[in-house]
């Protein structure tokens, strides 16, 4: 139990929450402490009982300061009034399930952070007939979903069944890479008596867990450039999201915790930990016995798509799947050199983009040109930078081009 938690008011795609509490207020576990009137948003809840001691900008797991609510724990773990099971799944309507998911603050727990109640309510012109649980977990080092599949397979199936009912879908799939035979076996056993749900063993390759790649591997459908999964009749959620939905219905508890992989060559005792939302990263490292050598880089997420952290005071958020600690000898310290036009990034790109040109346009501030080359389709998997012999910062440049293009679209 952390002695202090920092709850960011924005842990999701969409509008940030406004605080529902003030400094000095006493709060209980599961109490809603932040919300927004916007449809594309998700409330946040207290993960410990105690007193609100601050509401101010705080280092966030994404690297930038985020307005946050700081709670000092009283150690009692008192549960808020009204936290109770929501009833049998068979007795709940689709709208009731959506409301439960929304009030529980469920978002994409794989890192995307998209509010789940929004995802399961696609526009009426989108005919969705398939729901996929993304259990590929293709990022190196990360094993939190693997552990959930071994320890909570029935809850994953329950969550998928609830999501399917809410979205009006009759066909579900659970896609797992074939380097996890124990997880495949556990999930196969969990769906033995489930009609309409199939476990699919996928070839182990990166980035198999990318949404578009997963949809194509499981269904053969191709999401068009600039399109969404719903455009081809598919919705996708993460393993952790399914478990969060199951918890919200079975116990009434909103998203107050998640499983986080704490690992890396310099972590003394790597573990998967069940962690309260808002726990500082430093607490996770301490729980695993500390570090065996000075950290050269600590990453929120995996080595390919994660974000390097400037401080260990940043807290665990709903989308925090992994904390990866690397020492000096674990890093490739070769400085970036000029592009040699080898086209390895082009060959490696799973979206069939031109990273070499998009990044160079972005580096020169030529964002319109980068957008014309479909920069917004980049899934930021890091494959281009990984294979680049010149160690160009391709992903960072393309990410900037994406943000500019998306901002222009919103306007």
- In this structure, what CATH number is given to the domain that contains residue 66? 2.40.50.100
Q: Which of 219, 250, 281 is the last residue of a domain?
A: 250
Q: Is the same domain home to 185 and 127?
A: yes
39 within a domain of the structure (yes/no): yes
Phi, psi of 102 (to 5 degrees): -65, -50
Query: What's residue 349's pLDDT?
Result: 96
Q: Is the same domain home to 297 and 386?
A: no
Q: Is the same domain home to 96 and 207?
A: yes
Phi, psi of 157 (to 5 degrees): -65, -40
339 within a domain of the structure (yes/no): no
Structure tokens at 374: 């479909």
Helix boundaries (H) for 273-376: 281-287, 344-348, 355-363, 367-372
Query: What's residue 334's pLDDT?
Result: 80
Query: What's residue 411's pLDDT?
Result: 76
Query: What's residue 316's pLDDT?
Result: 97
80 within a domain of the structure (yes/no): no
Q: Is the same domain home to 271 and 236?
A: no
Q: Which of 250, 278, 310 is the last residue of a domain?
A: 250
**What count of other Cβ atoms lies within 10 Å of the Cβ of residue 142?**
25
Task: Give 228-265 as a DSSP string.
Answer: -GGGGTEEEEEHHHHHHHHHHHHT---S-EEEEEEE-T
224 within a domain of the structure (yes/no): yes
Q: Is 394 helix (H, G, I), strand (E, B) or coil?
A: helix
Q: Is the same domain home to 140 and 161?
A: yes
What residue numbers bound the domain in which 163 lies? 89-250
Domain tally, the chain: 4
Query: What's residue 112's pLDDT?
Result: 83
Q: Is the same domain home to 138 and 232?
A: yes
Q: Is the same domain home to 172 and 33?
A: no
229 within a domain of the structure (yes/no): yes
Each residue's pLDDT, cut to its tens digit, for the chain (411 residues) gives 999 999 999 999 999 999 999 999 999 999 999 999 999 999 999 999 999 999 999 999 888 899 999 999 999 999 999 999 999 999 999 999 999 999 999 999 998 899 999 999 998 889 999 999 999 999 999 999 999 999 999 999 999 999 999 999 999 999 999 999 999 999 999 999 999 999 999 999 999 999 999 999 999 999 998 889 999 999 999 999 999 999 999 999 999 999 999 999 999 999 999 999 999 999 999 999 999 999 999 999 999 999 999 999 999 999 999 999 999 988 877 889 999 999 999 999 999 999 999 999 999 999 999 999 999 999 999 999 999 999 999 999 999 999 999 888 877
52, 65 contact by CB (below 8 A): no
Q: Is the same domain home to 359 and 400?
A: yes
What is this structure's pTM?
Answer: 0.94
Q: Is the same domain home to 182 and 146?
A: yes
CA distance 237 to 84: 25
Domain harbouring 312, CATH code: 3.10.20.600
Query: What's residue 62's pLDDT?
Result: 84
User: How far does CA 300 lie from the centroid of its chain?
Assistant: 11
Q: Is the same domain home to 196 and 246?
A: yes
Task: Give the closest residue to 210 by CA, choosing from 374, 391, 377.
Answer: 377
84 within a domain of the structure (yes/no): no
* Residue 56, Cβ density class (10 Å: 0-12 exposed, 13-18 middle, ≥19 buried): exposed
Phi, psi of 160 (to 5 degrees): -65, -45
Query: What's residue 256's pLDDT?
Result: 98
177, 146 contact by CB (below 8 A): no
Taking the chain, what is the end-to-end CA distance rounded to the nearest angstrom? 44
79 within a domain of the structure (yes/no): no
Q: Which residues contact 321 (CB under 8 A, 6 or more apart)?
A: 109, 110, 111, 142, 144, 145, 240, 258, 260, 261, 301, 302
Q: Is the same domain home to 121 and 219?
A: yes
CA distance 78 to 226: 46
Query: What's residue 231's pLDDT?
Result: 95
CA distance 35 to 38: 9
Task: Give the closest residue to 212 by CA, choosing from 379, 78, 81.
Answer: 379
Q: Is 200 helix (H, G, I), strand (E, B) or coil?
A: strand
338 within a domain of the structure (yes/no): no
Query: What's residue 248's pLDDT?
Result: 98
Q: Is the same domain home to 181 and 102?
A: yes
């Amino acid at each position: 139990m952390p002695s202090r938690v920092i709850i960011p008011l924005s842990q999701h795609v969409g509008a940030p929450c406004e605080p529902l509490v003030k400094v000095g207020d006493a709060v209980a576990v599961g109490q809603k402490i932040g919300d927004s009137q916007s449809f594309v948003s998700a409330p946040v809840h207290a993960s410990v009982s105690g007193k609100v001691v601050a509401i101010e900008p705080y280092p966030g797991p994404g690297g930038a300061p985020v307005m946050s609510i700081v709670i000092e724990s009283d150690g009692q773990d008192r549960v808020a009034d009204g936290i109770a099971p929501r009833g049998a799944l068979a007795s709940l309507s689709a709208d009731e399930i959506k409301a439960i998911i929304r009030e529980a603050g469920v978002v994409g727990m794989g890192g995307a952070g998209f509010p789940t109640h929004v995802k399961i309510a696609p526009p009426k012109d989108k005919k969705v007939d398939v729901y996929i649980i993304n259990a590929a977990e293709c990022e190196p080092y990360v094993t939190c979903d693997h552990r959930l599949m071994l320890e909570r397979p029935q809850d994953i199936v329950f969550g998928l069944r609830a999501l399917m009912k809410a979205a009006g879908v009759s066909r579900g799939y659970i896609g797992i890479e074939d380097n996890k035979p124990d997880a495949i076996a556990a999930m196969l056993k969990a769906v033995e008596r489930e009609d309409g749900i199939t476990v699919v063993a996928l070839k182990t390759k990166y980035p198999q867990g990318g949404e578009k790649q997963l949809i194509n591997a499981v269904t053969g459908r191709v999401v068009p450039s600039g399109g969404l999964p719903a455009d081809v009749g598919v919705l996708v959620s993460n393993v952790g999201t399914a478990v969060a939905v199951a918890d919200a219905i079975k116990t009434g508890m909103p998203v107050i915790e998640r499983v986080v992989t704490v690992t890396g060559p310099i972590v003394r005792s790597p573990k998967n930990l069940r962690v309260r939302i808002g726990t500082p990263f430093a607490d996770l490292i301490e729980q695993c016995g500390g570090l065996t050598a000075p950290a050269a880089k600590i990453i929120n997420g995996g080595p390919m798509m994660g974000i390097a952290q400037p401080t260990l005071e940043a807290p665990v958020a709903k989308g925090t799947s992994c904390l990866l600690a690397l020492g000096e000898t674990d890093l490739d310290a070769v400085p970036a050199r000029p592009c040699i036009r080898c086209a390895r990034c082009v060959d490696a790109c799973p979206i069939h983009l031109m990273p070499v040109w998009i990044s160079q346009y972005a580096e020169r501030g030529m964002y319109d040109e980068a957008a014309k080359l479909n920069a917004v389709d980049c899934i930021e998997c890091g494959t281009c930078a990984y294979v680049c012999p010149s160690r160009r910062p391709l992903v960072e440049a393309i990410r900037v081009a994406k943000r500019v293009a998306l901002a222009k679209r919103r306007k």
